[in-house]
Amino acid sequence: MKLSDNRIMQEDVERASAAEFIDWEKLRGSTVLVTGATGLIGGQVVMTLLNASAEKDLDMKVIAAVRNKEKAEKLFKYADKAALELLVQDVTSPYSYEGDIDYIIHGASITSSKAFVDYPVETIFTAINGTKNLLELAKEKKVEGMVYLSSLEVYGVVDFSLPSVDEKTFGSIDPMSVRSSYSEGKRIVETLCTSYAHEYGVPVKVARLCQSMGAGVGYNDGRVFAQFARAVIEGTDIVLMTDGSTERNYCYISDAVTGILTVLLKGETAQAYNVANKDTLISIRDMAQMLIDNYPESGTRLVFNIAEDVTKLGYNPKVKMNLATAKTEALGWQPNVGLKEMFDRLIESMKIDR
């Protein structure tokens, strides 16, 4: 079914909803609430569920919890109105919903690095109070499953010599750094999820996502990969304000969506699962050079303009983070899109939406 005018996004939704390792039958006749539904990941989770329901005749109902109704109506303009319900709701306010809810995918969060340093209090309490409200709703509705979308940032700065970072390996986070509002907020919320699981029996799991890219990334998105893609499109230089030595994994949006659904339906309660493409480990500097090499016609060059204090820009501390994904892959999940294809599809999508 058509869900987007963006060809790349439409293909991604169809790819995700065709994933054979997802136990789609568990969702038959169910009602799924998705928070943060107009965000990059939440939006494609909603579309994937709607497409899968239509293609497989699953008779699902999807509730998209959003703050901006107009934005949601534009994003989901092709959605079957009988299958999709918009719930205009501030995540920091308690939820009141009369109908049944079988599953919750909680992705509402402040995600802008600059907001972490400009609005650290709001960053923390949006995470804590928002998740508390969803956990209370999950408890009230006696849901069959819930997944909280966390981040690789909960690991902090780990030992650079470690070949990989599994779900039990943690480094340090400086609580006196204002940038820690995001990472410490995610940490306490994971503990809150586990606490609700143990005390109230809420079947909540945690998906720790690396940076995810793909169709749906706004043209003016401030994240590094979007800045790089925009430079290639416009033929401008890539300007790094650090030495670019930070290394981490990435995940394509359709793979992130199938990872989230796998954790929701097959993951164990009160367990965390890394969602990343383990084959994409690369430094910021090398990623920039890869794009320059792959798109020579852009004329893009790599330029360094090292900032005196990157913390004021909301940048992460320097890390080497190779997420281990064996635990998630043991559930049957496999990412399919490599780094070059990620950027090819991201760039094409951004050109369409430009």
**Does the structural domain 7-213+251-276+321-337 have CATH classification 1.20.58.100?**
no
Please enumerate in sequence order all residues whose Cβ is within 8 A of that of 36, keeping only pairs 6 or more positions apart, or say none.
42, 65, 91, 106, 107, 108, 109, 149
Q: Residue 163 carries which side chain, given as an amino acid letter?
A: P
Torsion sign over Cα 114, 115, 116, 121: positive
Domain boundaries, the chain: 7-213+251-276+321-337
Pairing of strands 277-283, 247-252: antiparallel
Pairing of strands 31-35, 103-106: parallel
Q: Is the pLDDT of residue 177 over 80?
A: yes
Percent of all residues in the chain with a pLDDT value above 90, rounded to a whole number: 92
Label residue 256 exposed, middle or buried (CB < 10 Å: 0-12, 13-18, 19+). buried
**pTM for the whole thing?**
0.95
pLDDT digits (tens, 9 = 90+) for 253-299: 999 999 999 999 999 999 999 999 999 999 999 999 999 999 999 99
Q: What is the DSSP letter of 248?
A: E
Q: Is the pLDDT of residue 330 over 70?
A: yes
Angle at alpha carbon of residue 247, lines to 242 and 248, rounded to 5°: 125
CA separation for the pair 139, 311 (Å, rounded): 39
Q: Is the pLDDT of residue 222 over 90?
A: no
Question: Residue 86: its pLDDT value, please?
Answer: 98
In contact, 46 and 255? CB cutoff 8 Å: no
If DSSP codes are grouped into helix, strand and coil, which group holds residue 208? strand
pLDDT digits (tens, 9 = 90+) for 75-115: 999 999 999 999 999 999 999 999 999 999 999 999 888 89
